[in-house]
Structure 1
Amino acid sequence: MEQEIENISDSKAIRGRRSRQIKAILAGGLVLGVGAAITLAAWNDSEFAQGTFSAGTFNLVGSTDGTTFAEHAAVGTPATLAFTVSPTQLSPGDIVYAPFAVELDSSTTNDAVVTVSNAATSGVISNLSYELIQPTAFGCASGTTGTELVAAGTALGSVPASTTFTLSKGTPPTTAGAPAFLCFKVTAGALTQGQTGTATIEFAAVSQ
């Protein structure tokens, strides 16, 4: 009888140890399962975006004949206006006329606003006045009309504030923009014999 009781006790002890081992294994399995879930969840993915940025080109050129355009970018090397009457032999009451044109060259990628201003004077230009108009075609004579940029009677060597006009770009890189035609009309007043002087006008273009 004692032997049977001992055998029963041993069996219960063995079952207890197996139960604890199973629970330990199950617990270990749960731990391993959690660890596996963390590992599988560690996915990585990336997206990249890139922008390329290049500056445009902007260049204003001028012409005294309406056909051949070139740069006159410094106050010391301006284009020389071709007046219809020699401006070196003026008498009081004479009026002389000179055409000019500006455009954005074929490389230009932006439209422009052009501001007209006085750049420099030298010598004596007193008693000389002028008018600046913007006709629809190249040329300048007594009968030329157009948009008045500077009113007749303005003292030569001065430009009213906010004297501007617009230019449109062409189709780069092959076609220049449409030119703006200009007409200078200069009137001589009570000149002093032998006086001589120059006035240089600047056309400053700003891209839009």
Structure 2
Amino acid sequence: MTEARTPAQKTARRRKVQAVLAGGLVLGLGAAVTMANWNDSEFAEGLFGSASFNLEGSTDGEAYTDHDAVDEAAQLTFAADNMTPGQTVYAPFWVRLDADTTIDGSVEASDGIGVVASSGENAAHLSYEVLADPDSCDAAGAASGTSVASGADLSEGIGSTTSFDLSAGDGDAGTPVLLCFEVQASQDDFLQDDTTEVTWEVTATSVDNP
């Protein structure tokens, strides 16, 4: 048999139920606040292709190839088998950017042309000058070129004095630049019965695209 509740007991029970319901409402509000916010993203991708840059040379202005190591150096043709004191000899060498090159370049004044190897006693008694784009590479035409490098002797070292530009050919080889190598024997100290060998390096540097 259920015991009858007094009015005071009924009022206390109702307050407890209301308190539980109120607590449930508080919990419900808390759950709504912790829901994740919506988000959305955009993605962007970039592709970066490198340029091609290659210098090639020719001793006759027609047949070009790479000479990219000291032991693969192009053989310049000087009339220098029987030199005498004070004599000057000349040899042409053409340089250009090859057909695969996609960016312009330059031969810099600071480090573009220099002697990288030499031998023979007369290396100290032979001076040189390199002239760009002369009318011809001989006694008659060399002086019309622009002096881009020189050295008081054929010892190793950079001889560049003036920069010059090289243009890419947009699918074709670039416009060649004639370099005339002028070598002069000392009037006073040039030695007999000596063979001197020298190797120059021509270094082109790529130019940044705009």
Q: Report the TM-score when normalising by structure 2.
A: 0.71
Match of 2:66 in 1: 71
Q: Secondary structure at the match of 2:62?
A: coil
Does the Cα contact within 8 Å between 1:125 and 1:157 map onto a contact in 2?
no
1:148/1:194 CA distance change after superposition, 3 Å: same
Match of 1:129 in 2: 127
Q: Deviations over 1:114-146 (max 9, x none)?
A: 421111122343543332111267x41222312
Give the C-alpha shift of residue 181 in structure 1: 2.2
Give the C-alpha shift of residue 38 in structure 1: 1.0
1:158/1:44 CA distance change after superposition, 3 Å: closer
Q: Distance in 1 between matches of 2:16 and 2:169?
A: 87
- Runs of at least 4 residues off by over 6 Å: none
1:183/1:202 CA distance change after superposition, 3 Å: same
1:45/1:136 CA distance change after superposition, 3 Å: farther
Q: Distance in 2 between matches of 1:80 and 1:201?
A: 11
Does the Cα contact within 8 Å between 2:118 and 2:154 map onto a contact in 1?
no
Match of 1:103 in 2: 96
1:18/1:171 CA distance change after superposition, 3 Å: farther
1:59/1:164 CA distance change after superposition, 3 Å: farther
Q: Alignment identity in percent?
A: 36
Does the Cα contact within 8 Å between 1:104 and 1:167 map onto a contact in 2?
no
The answer to whether the aligner puts 1:197 opposite 2:196 as a matched pair is yes
Query: Which amino acid in 2 is paired with 1:22?
Result: Q
Match of 2:25 in 1: 29
Instruction: Give the alignment's Cα RMSD to 1 decimal.
Output: 3.4
Larger-Rg structure: 1
1:45/1:141 CA distance change after superposition, 3 Å: same
Match of 1:148 in 2: 147
Q: Secondary structure at the match of 1:96?
A: strand
Q: Deviations over 1:12-35 (max 9, x none)?
A: 532442243123212212212211
Q: Distance in 2 between matches of 1:160 and 1:66?
A: 25
Q: Report the TM-score when normalising by structure 1.
A: 0.71
1:159/1:28 CA distance change after superposition, 3 Å: closer
- Unaligned runs of 5+ residues in structure 1 are 1-6
**1:53-92 equivalences in 2 (<5 Å):** 56-83=51-78, 86-92=79-85
Count of equivalent residues: 195
Match of 1:184 in 2: 181
Give the C-alpha shift of residue 150 in structure 1: 3.3
- Unaligned runs of 5+ residues in structure 2 are none
Query: Which amino acid in 1 is paired with 2:97?
Result: L
Give the C-alpha shift of residue 88 in structure 1: 0.7
Match of 2:6 in 1: 10
